[in-house]
Amino acid sequence: MASYTISNLPAISAAKLADSFRAKTPGISIIDVRDSDYVGGHIMGCLNVPVNTHDYRMPELVRTLRNQDIVIFHCALSQQRGPASALRYLRERDRMAEKGELGIRKDGEDVQRAQRVVVLEGGFVKWQETYGMDTELTEGYAKDLWDDKW
């Protein structure tokens, strides 16, 4: 089993993620782990999987996302909840793969080796600074909730 830590967890910038959206790059899933602070906007098409649901939702999430090339986690700032959730996902994915619970291979390579798990740099706070008003990239944005909040 691989050893994952916050220090070796890769990150993706808001600009690179936005470029992927505009290019309609397939195989990307975004997991927003915010709880009540999810109100006020979110990245288009993301899945909201609040941290307080991870105990019972993480195995389901691993199974659901097993065919995705990139899984991006974020919270408000991507300093605590987002990275911790990404690590939890990686560890659960490895545990399930080791026990044969994923049961699939992709191009002859184990899914756990092919799938990249990353964190969005700066979280939704950074995202909304540039892309909050962009209705092709952000959904349910309430600008007044973000003014002077952070």
Instruction: Report the CATH architecture of 6-132.
Output: 3-Layer(aba) Sandwich (3.40)
pTM of the model: 0.90
- Amino acid 72 reads I
Catalytic residues: 75
What is the average pLDDT across 107-121?
73
H helical segments located in the chain: 14-22, 54-65, 81-98, 111-114, 123-131, 143-146
Residue 55 CA: distances (Å) to CA of 36, 85, 88, 123: 18, 11, 10, 22
Residue 48 CA: distances (Å) to CA of 28, 68, 76, 147: 15, 17, 12, 23
Residues 53-96: tens digit of each pLDDT: 999 999 999 999 999 999 999 999 999 999 999 999 999 999 99
Which residues, in sequence order, are bridge partners of residue 101? none
Specify the length of the chain in residues. 150
